[in-house]
Structure 1
């Protein structure tokens, strides 16, 4: 192969990899985020009253059983792991009760950051 063809093939492969990675990322569950008032304390990329979703993902993405711990914490609340602010239970956040399935959806989305 000629150098130009190799470069073109490498560029196409890189583009396909980027598209594949984006397709694998969990879609944003906007309705759940709004219902659960997530953005009252969190942002996607910088700390606010609580850690950002990116910080949470960085800390827990590769930790065994972290997803189930985070899902439980989303539904029932839990102790502070960052600073002094504990995670309030779904009922205390002013939203509707959070099902196991919805907690799973939210956690998978956060861990995809």
Structure 2
């Protein structure tokens, strides 16, 4: 507890740093989506070939297992969830990257 008072003046700086880094993480994950060709079929806010990421976040966001479910769909593909056009499997996307992408998509509400 004695360490806390000397750290108090630094708390606003630490909080500011975290706030500044949050948009950078979101940009990094959008770049990951671009590098994995997600943006060829999806956009953030409009349907393209596949649904908009915002629509995906709205549909799955309240589900407790949403991130894991989406990560699996990213790697394994899906069929019939959003209509007749299937989502192809992306086995070249690592499990870690699929999780990052799924978490990022779920933030797009």
Unaligned runs of at least 5 residues, structure 2: 1-18
TM-superposed deviation, 1:108: 0.6
Give the Cα separation in 2 of the matches to 1:38 and 1:59. 18
> 1:38-70: CA deviations, max 9, x gaps?
111101101111110000001111112121111
* Residue of structure 2 equivalent to 1:46: 46
Give the Cα separation in 2 of the matches to 1:30 and 1:68. 19
TM-superposed deviation, 1:109: 0.5
Q: How many residues align?
A: 89
- Tell me if 1:103 matches 2:72: no
Query: What SS is found at the alignment partner of 1:90?
Result: coil
Unaligned runs of at least 5 residues, structure 1: 1-19, 92-96
Give the RMSD, CA atoms, in angstroms: 2.4
Structure 1 stretches of 4+ with a deviation exceeding 2 A read: none
Name the structure, 1 or 2, with higher relative contact order (CA <8 Å, separation 6+): 1
Give the Cα separation in 2 of the matches to 1:62 and 1:43. 21
